[in-house]
Homo-oligomer: A and B are copies of this chain.
Amino acid sequence: MSGIEELAIRLRASLGHERVVTDRQELRTYECDGLAHYKVVPALVALPQNTAQVAEVVRACADAGVPFVARGSGTGLSGGALPHADGVLIVTAQMRAIRSISPEDERAVVEPGVINLQVTRAATPHGYYYAPDPSSQQICSIGGNVAENSGGAHCLKYGFTTNHVTGLEVVTPDGAITRLGGRAPDAPGYDLLGAFVGSEGTLGVATEVTVRLTRLPESVRTLLAAFRGTDEAGAATSAIIGAGVVPAAIEMMDALAIEAAEAAVACGYPAGAGAVLIVELDGPSAEVAAQFDEVNRLCEANGAFEIRIAADDAERALFWKGRKSAFAAVGRISPDYIVQDGVIPRTALPEVLRRIDELAAAHGVRVANVFHAGDGNLHPLVLFDDAVEGQAERAEEASGAIIDLCIEYGGSITGEHGVGADKAKYMPRMFTDDDLDTMQLVRCAFDPAGIANPGKIFPTPRLCGERPGRHRGAVEYEGAEVF
């Protein structure tokens, strides 16, 4: 009997038969996450219902020396939840209880399978919401958000998942249950919460998440500004931030992204726009009103030829509809596409967008840009047709070249989608050996056997147990400064 067969027997005994999947056809449902060009069928899928069952699965894996990967809704875009062919996939989607909503201390306690938007829905009657809003918020899980430290359009003002998680219950890779953080803004001892959030499942599995709730703003105002091109829209973005205004969101779409959105959802953006900005302000009414006038003025001063102001929630939703559907919408103008994710210094936006255009032309592909301009967090969509010989390869090359460009400009290889399986190869471009060694030491502290989501984040698998050959005394190093 194979190790996996023995594991299946043990897990069926403790979790129940229906919570353990080994049928090949059923297993194929889980072969990839949102990054569909990597596919690996797991050896076994476990569907635990509570913390004790997650601990039982992890303990069984640890005893058998079998790797495990945790998965929420499977919407991630970096292959962070890509299964291991000889391993167990722990799907937390059935752990969906919202355990508490506490307006009095602005906290919610939820299970990892809870959908991002459900937290906001549960908090809204109390006058609160959950701020981090990935585009996939209608389907992505809080557990997955924790693993990837997910962002979203409104992270410019409100920060990423890591800024909104105050406590975790986690199962460590030896099957122990522990707590990191709590309800307070700070606690004694090491802050391991920050290290866990964004660790992409390599330090364990989150089984309960305490998040900060944010008060619904008194006022929200949204404008859509149309520009002739991305140069002007980029300059307007820099001018707004430079003026000390922190909008809730500044989103940019270029001509090709606008074309796709129009084709898909007929959002009716201004004709002739080479770029649009969606700028949203929220907060106390008095503040929003004053700053909104300034944003309006700065857009005009930087070449906006039409500015629309959302008169009500319906019009506001229409502005966002084009933006939020943009990723899917490119399917209307291209059979296949790659969603890239990288960060550049905001001030370099116009120049980098021009160079992306040149790169696309050189590779014979089209690139649509739709992104979080305020953060400098690019999401180039590299369009291609898999049916045309060689196009997929050229698209991959162009996509990789865009990441090279981000690094060249002092940026980062990922803004919010994570490293996952996809970008581990780029890590040595951003970090020195010493930097990566320090991360590996922590990984080994949590996971000496290397069974928690192996193959993700780190470019080179390495056994724990030995101190790495650190470059002691090397005073010269490449910094990992990013903007």
Neighbouring B residues of A472 by C-beta, 8 Å: 59, 174-176
Say yes or no: A188-B413 contact (C-beta < 8 A), given A177-B477, A286-B290, A435-B178. Answer: yes
Q: Could you tell me if B444 and A445 are in contact, using CB atoms closer than 8 angstroms?
A: yes
Chain B residue nearest to A202 (CB atoms) is B190
Interface residue A125 (Cβ < 8 Å from any Cβ of B): no
Q: How far apart are the CA atoms of A480 and B236 in the complex, in Å?
A: 47
Binary per-residue interface labels of chain A (404-442) against chain B in the complex, 1 for a CB within 8 Å, 0 otherwise:
000000001111101100010001001110111111011
Q: Does A352 contact B (CB under 8 A)?
A: no
B286 touches A289 (CB 8 A): yes
A471 and B184 CA atoms in complex are apart in Å by: 25
Query: Is A482 in the interface zone, CB < 8 Å from B?
Result: yes
Bound-state Cα–Cα, A241 to B466, Å: 51
Are B179 and A480 in touch, CB under 8 angstroms?
A: yes
Which one of A160, A188, A287 has the highest number of Cβ atoms from chain B below 10 Å of its Cβ?
A: A188
Among residues of B, the one whose C-beta sits closest to the C-beta of A414 is: B188
Distance of A108 Cα from B254 Cα, bound (Å)? 34
B188–A160 CB distance below 8 A: no
Pick the contact of A59 from B210, B439, B473 — CB < 8 Å? B473
Contacts of A151 in B (CB 8 A): 186
Asked if A215 is an interface residue, CB under 8 A from chain B, the answer is yes
CB distance from A415 to the nearest CB of B (A): 7
Contact B441 A446, beta carbon cutoff 8 Å: yes
Most B C-beta atoms less than 10 A away, residue of A56, A167, A191 = A191
Residues of B within 8 A of A178 (CB): 432, 434-435, 437-438, 477
Contact of A195 among B104, B127, B192, B287 (CB under 8 A): B192
Interface membership of A229, Cβ < 8 A = no
A467 CA to B448 CA, complexed, in Å: 9
Taking the complex as formed, is A350 at the interface, i.e. its CB lies under 8 A from any CB of chain B? no
Which of A160, A176, A414 counts the most chain B CB atoms within 10 A? A176
Tell me the smallest distance from the CB of A117 to a CB of chain B, in Å: 22
- Stoichiometry, as copies per complex, reads 2
Q: Is A390 an interface residue (CB 8 A)?
A: no
Are B105 and A188 touching (Cβ within 8 A)?
no
Chain B residues closer than 8 Å to A189, beta-carbon distance: 419, 427, 430-431, 435-436, 439, 457
Give CA–CA (A459, B476) in the complex, Å: 38
Q: Tell me the complex Cα distance, A56–B472, Å.
A: 10
With a cutoff of 8 Å between Cβ atoms, the chain B residues found around residue A283 in the complex are 287
B475 adjacent to A55 (CB under 8 Å): yes
Whether the pair A445, B435 counts as a contact (CB closer than 8 A) is no
Q: A180 — nearest CB in chain B belongs to which residue?
A: B438
- Does A159 belong to the interface (CB within 8 Å)? yes
Q: Which residues does chain B contribute within 8 Å of A185, judged by CB atoms?
A: 159-160, 375
Question: Once bound together, how far apart are the Cα atoms of A152 and B239, in whole Å?
Answer: 33
A430 to B179, CA, bound (A): 11
Q: How far is the CB of A217 from chain B (nearest CB, A)?
A: 10
Q: A190-218 CB contact bits vs B (8 Å, 1 = yes)?
A: 11111101110001000000100001000
Cβ B442 vs Cβ A190 within 8 A: yes
Evaluate contact between B188 and A191: CB separation under 8 angstroms. Answer: no
Cβ contacts A158-175/B at 8 Å (1 or 0 each) = 011010000100001011
Alpha-carbon gap, A467 to B291, bound state (A) = 56
Could you list 17 further interchain pairs (A-B, Cβ under 8 angstroms) beyond the known A188-B430, A190-B439, A190-B442?
A: A51-B475, A104-B347, A105-B483, A149-B186, A172-B438, A176-B437, A176-B470, A188-B418, A188-B457, A189-B439, A190-B199, A190-B203, A286-B286, A287-B287, A441-B445, A441-B446, A444-B445
List chain A positions with a Cβ less than 8 A from chain B: 51-52, 55-56, 59, 104-105, 127, 149, 151, 159-160, 162, 167, 172, 174-180, 182-195, 197-199, 203, 210, 215, 242, 244, 283-284, 286-287, 289-291, 343, 345, 347, 375, 412-416, 418-419, 423, 427, 430-432, 434-439, 441-446, 448, 457, 467, 470-475, 477, 479-483
The 28 sampled A-B contact pairs (Cβ below 8 Å) are A52-B475, A59-B472, A59-B473, A104-B347, A151-B186, A172-B470, A174-B467, A174-B472, A176-B434, A176-B470, A176-B471, A176-B474, A177-B477, A179-B479, A179-B481, A182-B482, A183-B481, A184-B482, A187-B430, A187-B480, A188-B412, A188-B413, A188-B423, A191-B195, A191-B197, A192-B439, A286-B290, A448-B467
